[in-house]
Amino acid sequence: MKISCGTDIIEIKRIRESIEELGTKFLERVYTDKEIQYCESKNNQKYQHYAARFAAKEAVFKAISRKLKNKYEIGWKDMEVINDENGRPHAHLQNINIQEIEEIDISISHCKEYAIANVVVVWK
């Protein structure tokens, strides 16, 4: 069994500015419909949740990038970060043909200014 990990941290202000400047164009390029619905439901804290998912997608990319032939093989919406019924985040990969992934474990956190994500991938 092999593992790989990825970590990312981002300033929430950067995501907020992108959303305010580009609006739905940015949201629809980076986030799935389920992610947008979840983040929008957080009202005043929605930017923290958007930033946390952005960091999670970056961390997933870092963790799986060694198996990609090139970085253009994967898009933002090919990774979806949604919470289960207990609130635990999960990363779902779509349109990505990497058969060797056994499990993806993800942890995200945010505060007033930063969001961070850590991803561990267990390989078969």
Read off φ and ψ for residue 45, nearest 5 degrees.
Answer: -100, 15
Q: Tell me the C-alpha distance between 27 and 84, whole Å.
A: 22
Per-residue confidence band for 71, with pLDDT thresholds at 50, 70 and 90: low
Q: Is 70 exceeded by the pLDDT of residue 72?
A: no
Burial of 25 (0-12, 13-18, 19+ CB in 10 A): exposed
Q: Tell me the C-alpha distance between 78 and 38, whole Å.
A: 17
Segment 49-69, tens digit of pLDDT: 999 999 999 999 999 988 887
Per-residue confidence band for 97, with pLDDT thresholds at 50, 70 and 90: confident
Per-residue confidence band for 98, with pLDDT thresholds at 50, 70 and 90: confident
Q: pTM to 2 decimals?
A: 0.93
